Structure 1
Amino acid sequence: MKHLILCCLLLCACVAAHAHKPSDSYLNLVVEGQSVTGQWDIALRDLDFAIGLDANGDAAITWGEVRARQSEIDAYAMARLQLQAGGKSCPAAVTEHLIDDHTDGAYVVLRFRALCADTVSELQARYALFFDIDPQHKGLLQLMYQGQSSTAIFSPDKATQQFKLTQPSRIRQFVDYGREGVWHIWIGFDHILFLLALLLPAVVVRREQTWQAVDAFKPALWSVLKIVTAFTLAHSITLTLATLGVISLPSRWVESTIAASVVVAALNNIYPLFRERRWVMAFLFGLIHGFGFASVLTDLGLPKSALVLALVGFNLGVETGQMAIVAVFLPLAFYLRRTTLYRRAILLGGSILIAILAAGWLVERVFDMKFLPF
């Protein structure tokens, strides 16, 4: 029974997986005197889930369907954003509606203006969009004041935040982007499944066309370190280049290749091609995963005054989240390595499940369709 429990722990990431891009909205606020002007980008898929935009049920939301529900969209969104200054409410009203494309699909854009009673020196924002139906949703804020940019991330446990309109703290920006990096790797299930597919054979070795347990912990640890180091180095390179605008690749191509990388990594455990050179695979595909990380970082709205700081913080956050996964996986895998349960159910069975799921993602992303419920 305890082996079965440990097996479930190892495979939980495989069972709970869903699409790579989490539910986010993008809120930009510009403070000038008593006035706060804003732009709020909200995913149409999230609004459709919350209030139902697809009137004819054809799984394609049109501009006409959005226009027909504009007043309801305004009421739903603005009721979940409250701005205050000096303890007094700053009433906001929508002034313009647009549609924009992000890396993960179409977004409705609400432009609005709020007027405060006095000149704003400290702004309080309470954000509650989708928290009642999706506790993983986040609101990504970029606040502009006198040419200076600061950022914040709203979540259910940080729904109300206070902003002093002075030069933003570099330490706070670093911590915020680091936290976002950790969060992204933990809910970026295609990244996790790619890493797990590479790590599953770390505690076994291929001999006479069968997987056999390694005799000591050191070889397993060395194998893991090579894979993690190669993956980290590769995605750090392309994350930096893409964020700085040196290289740009189409999002659909990147996301499709990421799904393909998961398929290849999983199938390699069934029909070994790279054998003990899985670190090579980690490096080559890690270059593509870096572009996926960069799309998230770009959507966060990088502060020009602290670009390097935000980039380093996000990257370190990704590595921290990644090492936490490894720290949980490796001891459990090493403990179970000699069992048939690990070699058959976890290594081979888990790899098959990962390959099937990633193949579904690949078809969705290549053909721009949606049939998986996650």
Structure 2
Amino acid sequence: MKYLLAILCAALLANPAWAHKGSDAYLDVRQTEGALNLQLSVALKDLDLLLPIDANADGLLTWAEVQAATPAVLALLQTHTGLDAPAPGCALQWRFDGLERRSDGAYLRASSPAHCAAGAALGWRYSLFQAEDANHRLIVTGQLDGRDLLATTSPQQTAPLPLRQASAATPRGILATMFDYLALGMHHLLEGYDHMAFLLALVLPLQLRLARGVAGQTNPWWALLRTITAFTIGHSITLVLATLGVTEASPVWVEPVIAASIGVTALLNLYPVPVLRPERLALAFGLVHGYGFAGLLIEAAAPAGLLPWALAGFNLGVEAGQLTAVAGWVLLSQLVVRQPWYERIVVRGGSRALLLLASYWVWQRVF
């Protein structure tokens, strides 16, 4: 049995990480007979930023290394997490609860009971990775007082995350969930450098058309809007379908294809094919990128009652991030887009750089 456990843990620890997946942790809150049960899952690769989990620094985690580091990890969780309540009895006592595999690698799971007064205000404090990773996010799911719970927080958030309001003595509501996931969707888009690289590959030649404004051709501003809208439609379709469980796609092929979409688009900037118009590329590859966006919501295992609202907020956040990125690039490039060297250096040089970067990402994600 001991050897079987070691083999299973080795398989978990060997799981590959996908490049665009951010640093996320997951908290599940359940209420049974008045007591709370909490499960917190944190990526081992993230914990290695705080503790020498990879003790020999060989880039490979072993079960023995995880076992040796577990007491220090639990002590770290004890220091950087907690429940805020007006009455005593909510102290946490984390214990090791196993390893689990997610799309970006192995996670250490810890659990703790909490005996908090029924109906009292309840908040969650979380400061893990506060100094080490400004992009880290915690996804909170579960049930409290018979209602679904779904929220997000970050270690930079100084005030406790309210799980139950004192006035209504109920968990967070729909609007709070939508707002949280709107912020999460925007953060996910702006943090996802492969999605950003694809958007850049799409708009590079369009910017040149905006500057030239050639008579007799389609309005370049309309071409830009049409391309971005096509990408939105594409990724929204698969984001919704995948999150609702209607369809699914393995990251084994989704992640390399996302990287390949950047290379193909950059290559077509250098050697245009008239039939492969930008909006058609954006729509087709947007379907694949939608599966990449859906990964975060699927990993969170959002409660069914709040899933539609989280999905709506997340999708709006992705669109807000997308529009922010494109608008920022359009405004910035207007300063130099009419320079004689813009096409040669920015459009063609940038496309070559994106092609090389995409080739590296494809190789990294396949091998």
Alignment TM class, shorter chain as reference: 0.7 to 0.9
Say yes or no: does 1:195 pair with 2:194.
Answer: no
CA drift at 1:345: 2.1
Q: In 1, Cα distance between the equivalents of 2:114 and 2:274? A: 58
Which shifted more, 274-283 or 171-180? 274-283
TM-score by length of 1: 0.85
Give 3-state SS (helix, strand or coil) of 2:83's partner: strand
1:43 matched to which residue of 2? 43
2:7 matched to which residue of 1? none
State the one-letter code of the partner of 2:28: N
Contact 1:95/1:113 (<8 A) preserved:
no
Describe how 1:1-374 pairs up with structure 2 within 5 A. 19-32=19-32, 35-88=35-88, 90-116=90-116, 118-119=117-118, 121-159=120-158, 160-164=160-164, 165-204=169-208, 213-215=212-214, 219-273=219-273, 277-367=277-367
1:10 matched to which residue of 2? none
Relative to structure 1, the CA distance from residue 287 to residue 152 in structure 2 (aligned partners, 3 Å threshold; closer, same or farther) is same
State the one-letter code of the partner of 1:47: L
CA drift at 1:332: 3.3
Contact 2:49/2:132 (<8 A) preserved:
no
| Percent identity of paired positions between Structure 1 and Structure 2 | 37
Q: In 1, Cα distance between the equivalents of 2:364 and 2:127? A: 31
CA drift at 1:212: 8.7
CA drift at 1:203: 2.6
State the one-letter code of the partner of 2:255: E
State the one-letter code of the partner of 2:295: S
Give 3-state SS (helix, strand or coil) of 2:358's partner: helix
Q: In 2, Cα distance between the equivalents of 1:74 and 1:268? A: 51
Q: In 2, Cα distance between the equivalents of 1:341 and 1:45? A: 43
Contact 1:33/1:119 (<8 A) preserved:
no
CA drift at 1:84: 2.4
Q: In 2, Cα distance between the equivalents of 1:147 and 1:251? A: 34
CA drift at 1:352: 2.0
Q: In 1, Cα distance between the equivalents of 2:92 and 2:171? A: 25
Deviations along 1:29-82, whole A, 9 cap, x unmatched? 223465321111101110112112112322111222101111011111221101
Aligned residues: 344
State the one-letter code of the partner of 2:252: R
Q: In 1, Cα distance between the equivalents of 2:154 and 2:171? A: 23
**Structure 1: 5+ residue runs without aligned partners?**
1-17, 206-210, 368-374
CA drift at 1:115: 3.0
Q: In 2, Cα distance between the equivalents of 1:271 and 1:152? A: 46
Q: In 1, Cα distance between the equivalents of 2:336 and 2:30? A: 55
State the one-letter code of the partner of 2:135: Q
State the one-letter code of the partner of 1:233: I
RMSD, matched Cα: 2.3
State the one-letter code of the partner of 1:173: T
TM-score by length of 2: 0.87
Contact 1:83/1:89 (<8 A) preserved:
no
Contact 2:231/2:279 (<8 A) preserved:
yes
**Structure 2: 5+ residue runs without aligned partners?**
1-17
Contact 2:29/2:36 (<8 A) preserved:
yes
- The structure whose residues are more often strand, as a share, is 1
Deviations along 1:135-158, whole A, 9 cap, x unmatched? 111111114213322222212442
State the one-letter code of the partner of 2:303: P
2:3 matched to which residue of 1? none
Q: In 2, Cα distance between the equivalents of 1:139 and 1:40? A: 9
CA drift at 1:191: 0.6
Q: In 1, Cα distance between the equivalents of 2:242 and 2:129? A: 30
CA drift at 1:335: 4.4
Q: In 2, Cα distance between the equivalents of 1:89 and 1:330? A: 55
Q: In 2, Cα distance between the equivalents of 1:50 and 1:162? A: 27
Deviations along 1:89-114, whole A, 9 cap, x unmatched? 62211234211111111111112222
